[in-house]
Structure 1
Amino acid sequence: MMLAAIGCSPTPKYQRIPAETVSSTVEPPPDRLLRFETPVTLNEALWKDGSLFLTYSDGRHDYFGRASADDQVNLSIHQEWFPVYQVNSLSADAHGQAVIGAEPVRHLPRKDWAAFIRGIEKSLTDRVQPGTGILVNVRDEETFLYRRHDGSLDECTLMEKPAGIRLAENHRLEAMTGGLFLFLTAYLETIGVPDRYLVMETGETGPYARPFVFVDRNRQRFHLLSLEPYTFGSMPSMPVANTGKAGWHLFVRSYLFELFNRPVSSLSRLGLFLYDTAWDATRGIWTSTFRFPDLTEADIPDLHQDGNMDRGEWEDRLDRIVGADTRTSGQIELLVGGDRFFPRLVDAIIGAEQSIKLRTYIFDRDDYAVRLADLLKKRSQDVNVQVMVDGLGTLMAQNKAAGSMPPDHKAPLGITLYLTNQSRVRLVSLTNPWFTGDHTKTTIVDSRKAFIGGMNIGREYRWEWHDLMMVADGPVVSVIEREFDKTWAHGQVLGDVVFSGYMLANPPKPEVPRGYPIRVLRTLPYDSQIYRSQLHAIRQARGYIFIQNAYFSDVTIIHELVKARLRGVDVRVIIPMEGNHGIMNASNVTAANTLLKYGVRVFTYPGMSHVKAAVYDGWACLGSANFDKLSFRANKEMNLGVSDPGFVAGLIDTVFTPDFEAAVELDHPLPAGWGNTFASIIASQL
């Protein structure tokens, strides 16, 4: 199982090759998938004009193929994977003509690849102490290697990890290329192979197997060679059922029942929604029509060196802007990417002793989300498990497959029913009156540890997207948990009454400060703390502003960022190259071009970045909120605000600095037309 994804062991058996009594040279029918249940043998590898020509056999037939840089498989949703190249089939005659004058490339049999893999495994397992384990991520698979308390070695998936075993290390194999080549070089020296280029047999079989690896030792690169184009699965589509679910949730639950269960909240939300819509639309038109033209002739100044705003004064100002009651304390660890967050979340769920409280905008029904649901169902037999999802967010996600969905995944009809079926999971699916929602993502374990940030529960967050979460401890956990409990109470039948009863029975309890100061900032229907704090931070900044967000549609924020740059502030913005909402992608083009026009540095992150983080002169604000109307005005959101120098430096070092390097900086406007302008108008109300 360990390292199977790069060719250590066979993958499942699917299509049997017809038996033949003798080996013969054949041309595969065009409709035949080159999929093998037994490992193929490489007979010859040749190199010519940037192309690799292969002759290989399954013991019955000989096959011919060609691969080059032009045949690289599009794995843009998996930036961290080893590159994969498609081996295109050739006829015997075409192969014979193409390889005239080609140079031979040394090829090594499966036993050498297996010996190399065993060396890697031994290196990893030698570091595993009794009672601990190491997680190894390869492609979109994970293997947990651990030693039992008696010292014996075993392996499993992380979700099958025994409760008494501690997750000690977490690695992605593709990120260990330097170490892998040290092992490979040492092994090749022992067998006397000096060649720069090699083709090694891996022994992989089954669908989408990579039976060969082209190795460039000088550049330290592995190039996986595939015989079958990779295809991704999709979610089962049920238009009638989906329409019925949407109608029931939006019109019956979120309007008719809502007026009975939460009449005060529902009507007040309607009034606030109408007011915010009118105000934001008027302000957006005013800013676009009158304020931006005033800046047209402004010169773009050099960056000034006057230093940053005083953080002590800024915190005092924040007390006046959002209230001193937003202050708490604690410590925060950054978890960048699904490889860092989800293993920690799973480990915490497995180790929970009393309670698990999970709150998310989307709980999907893809393969990874279902496995996590299974874990929660299992744990509900021993501890209190509460799951709270946004009804509309989860419903909309049910019909959209992740980019790398396994084609054999059997999705349940609905994740909310799946979670509660034959389990003790307590679940609340929140309603969406007036199309507002709960976009918060938090998980509290045993009232001691809280995860908070931008990741929902689903495959794209685990394997595909660039995203950010935090794990917090200290008094801040009590604040985050109290917000969960308040929302849980409000989500019950007669929620306005239950919520009022909860608030009367559970007043906030002061806690002894521990760690460094932290603010819990929220977006509520009546209080836009996240928006107001960041708007004022932009206005106060004197040195630098770094922002990474998937959606930039708030005209006022864009205008204030432009004004900040025109007073000499170093303003940098990162947006995704490939967003997940078409209208927001089109709107981002308009925002990027506007910012670029006035000297703001705009970076496009390769693939999808779902990170929601910003730093203003040493004050960080990060969490679940986008830079759009829904996150700033309508939805419930939760961010953390931190001025601690150590934390802010860590955020810049682990998120912004590497992402600036990975992204492409725009040096000219993106192509745009009337469609982008129209999209920005629509997006400003989303």
Structure 2
Amino acid sequence: MPTPNRSHSPGAAARRRPGVRTTTIMRTAALACALQLGLGCASLPDAARELQMRPARPVEFDSARGPVSTRRAAAIMDELKRRSGDIDILDKHLAVEQAINADIPLDLGNRLILLQDGPATYAAMFAAIRGAKDHINLETYIFEDDGIGRQFADLLLERQAAGVQVNLIYDSVGCLDTPPAFFERLRSGGIAVLEFNPVNPLAGNKAEWLLNNRDHRKLLVVDGRTAFIGGINISESYSSGSARRPSPKKRTQAVGWRDTHLQLEGPVVARFQQLFIETWTRQKGTPLAARTYFPRLEKQGDEIVRAIGSASADPHSLIYLTLLSAIASAEQRVYLTNAYFAPDPQLLDTLTDAARRGVDVRLILPGQTDAWVVFHAGRSHYEELLRAGVRIYERSHAVMHSKTASIDGVWSTIGSTNLDWRSFLHNDELNAAIVGRDFARQMDAMFARDLAESDEVDLERWERRPLLLRLKEWAARLAEYWL
């Protein structure tokens, strides 16, 4: 089964084969060190300092009619507290959320559909694309020339021929294995196609060659009314999902991909649309064809959502600051699932501090992966986390690719952001933060299902792991900034 093997950096090709020898690990680590010396390093912000410097501000909400009044905001807060039960916890997370993202209002009146794995996500996306009447904006890291990729391409060309304007942004590194003819066919059919930070320094319209800055977002906006975000790329790898099933060739269980996506309808869709257009503009794409990109949006449900985008050119990652602040504010539980776990010292400290003060911190991480260097870099931190009381589980029978969090049963996030340096420093990423207990219940139920399919890492057994594993972890740790 093919796998999305460009999940992180320009050097991802070096980790496509999980059985690579230790000498290759050492070479990768040495190359990463050389890159750091030669190119310099960006740095992550001090989350605690950033929070202290930001003045306390009342929580602001936007509705389908625009910003709501102070009186209406207070009523919304009262209703949230009534529904959420634990007033103190909700107040704390709303205050933290507002301090970090004061310039991005919480959008009211949204409908959310939690999509688990590729089959459900692709079915929902295909249905939305088929129903498009005005435009389709698609932004993706990987767009493969395989069965699923060709289904997407055929459907997009069909809608373009029917008069629906299709605009596509794809990442140059993520699509290294996709033949240029694949995208040329889309262009010939009238689709506006933009390559993000081309690998070829002579291609593109920008003066800078930013090979290390990648567009890791996965975003689909249809008619400005429906949006999809999450961790799922356009690849055959996701087509079978994560359910256990017999392999037709071997009498064993074939391994699928476990991932999470989110379908959104309501006022927050305009925020995601704006982020797509901003990326198009920054990349100096040809002017977008005139369409109704921002239709009037009505209330579609009761969910409160904040769209959070981060770009490598930003002073700091709002997603990083938001997540660290939410974990630091946790009182009861922190549930994280993530595909690529290579934490920086600040994230590591935040997780261990939460566990030491009695918060139930649980991580579901991959038990097998397409990115073996990141896999071992993450494992190099297990002992410190386990000693602090963090509980770690490795997902079995599937490749874990989700990027989700649920904290204290009131705050959740789904998006494209991994828990590693690359996502927080070098990539353009996209997340939705959801405030409220109703959606958090769905997230916690999903987490429980993944937990049932995972194996807990025991500290005593982990301390007895073989020397070769320790060597791989040490070597991978040297390279984790660039993974």
TM-score (norm 2): 0.71
Take 1:573 and 1:374, find their aligned partners in 2: how far apart are those partners? 39
Q: How does 1:566-577 map to 2 (within 5 A)?
A: 566-577=356-367
Match of 1:562 in 2: 352
| Corresponding position of 2:478 | 681
Match of 1:452 among 222, 226, 229: 229
1:469-548 aligned within 5 A: 469-492=261-284, 515-524=302-311, 525-526=313-314, 527-548=316-337
Q: CA deviation at 1:586?
A: 1.2
Q: Is the 8 A contact 1:309 1:543 kept in 2?
A: no
Quote how far apart the aligned CAs of 1:274 are. Answer: 4.6
Asked whether the 8 Å contact 1:614–1:621 carries over to 2, the reply is yes
Counterpart Cα distance in 1 of 2:482 and 2:186: 34
1:633 is aligned, of 415, 425, 435, to 425
The residue aligned with 1:589 is: 379
Structure with bigger RCO (C-alpha 8 Å, 6+ apart): 2
**Conserved? CA contact 1:613–1:621, under 8 Å:** yes
Query: Residue deviations 1:641-662, cap 9 Å, x none?
Result: 1112111101111x20100011
Asked if 1:425 corresponds to 2:187, the answer is no
Give a deviation string over 1:618-667, Cα, whole Å, max 9, x none: 211211100011211221111011112111101111x2010001111112
Change (3 A) 1:450 1:308: same
Question: Contact 1:363/1:415 (CA < 8 Å) preserved in 2?
Answer: no
Shift of 1:327: 2.2
Q: Which residue of 1 aligns with 2:170?
A: 389
1:543 Cα deviation after fit: 0.5
Letter of the 1:619 partner, please give it. Answer: W
Whether 1:319 and 2:134 are equivalent positions in the alignment is no
Contact 2:232–2:261 (CA under 8 A) maintained in structure 1? yes
Tell me which residue corresponds to 1:332: 112
CA contact (8 A) 1:308 1:541 kept: no
How far residue 510 of structure 1 moved from its aligned partner, in angstroms, is 9.9
Q: Do structure 1's residue 365 and structure 2's residue 145 form an aligned pair?
A: yes
Amino acid across the alignment from 2:184: L
Distance in 1 of aligned mates of 2:303 and 2:339: 29
Q: Which amino acid aligns with 2:374?
A: M
Check whether the contact 2:260–2:402 (CA below 8 A) recurs between aligned residues: yes
Does residue 467 in structure 1 map to residue 259 in structure 2?
A: yes
How far 1:567 sits from its partner (Å)? 0.8
Question: Structure 1 278/535 Cα, relative in aligned 2: closer, same or farther at 3 Å?
Answer: closer
Q: Look up the SS of the partner of 2:170 in the other structure.
A: strand
The CA distance in 2 between the partners of 1:677 and 1:466, in whole Å, is: 28
Matches within 5 A, 1:236-251: none
Residue in 2 that maps onto 1:661:
452
Per the alignment, do residues 234 and 533 of structure 1 end up closer, same or farther by CA in structure 2, a change over 3 Å counting?
closer
Q: CA deviation at 1:279?
A: 7.9
Tell me how far apart the structure 2 counterparts of residues 485 and 233 of structure 1 sit (CA, whole Å): 32
Q: Give the whole-Å Cα distance in 2 for the aligned partners of 1:279 and 1:542.
A: 23
CA deviation string 1:262-296 (max 9, x = no partner)? xxxxxxxxxxx95624989xxxxxxxxxxxxxxxx
Quote the offset at 1:490 in angstroms.
2.4
Instruction: Determine if contact 2:135/2:293 at 8 Å carries over to the other structure.
Output: no
Q: Distance in 2 between matches of 1:684 and 1:591?
A: 14
Give me the whole-angstrom Cα distance separating, in 1, the residues matched to 2:336 and 2:137: 30
Offset at residue 678 of structure 1 (A): 2.1
- In structure 1, C-alpha distance between the alignment counterparts of 2:197 and 2:239, rounded to whole Å: 26
Of structures 1 and 2, the larger Rg is shown by: 1
> Aligned partners of 2:3 and 2:101: how far apart in 1?
44
Structural mapping, 1:89-108, within 5 Å: none
- How much has 1:429 moved relative to structure 2? 0.9
2:273 touches 2:293 (CA, 8 Å); kept in 1?
no
Identity of matched residues, %: 27
Counterparts in 2 of 1:517 and 1:378: CA distance versus 1, 3 Å: same
Tell me the CA shift for residue 512 of structure 1.
7.1
Residue equivalent to 2:35:
none
Mapped partners of 1:534, 1:278: distance in 2: 13
What is the letter of the counterpart of residue 647 of structure 1? F
Residue 342 (str. 1) matches residue 122 (str. 2): yes
**Distance in 1 separating the partners of 2:442 and 2:273:** 25
Indicate the RMSD between aligned Cα atoms, in angstroms.
3.0
- Kindly tell me the number of residue pairs found equivalent between the two proteins: 371
What aligned pairs does 1:250-269 form with structure 2 within 5 A after superposition?
Answer: none
Amino acid at match of 1:415: F
2-structure distance, mates of 1:363, 1:513: 33
Shift of 1:381: 0.1
- Asked if 1:550 is matched to 2:330, the reply is no
Contact 1:377 1:420 in 2 (8 A): no
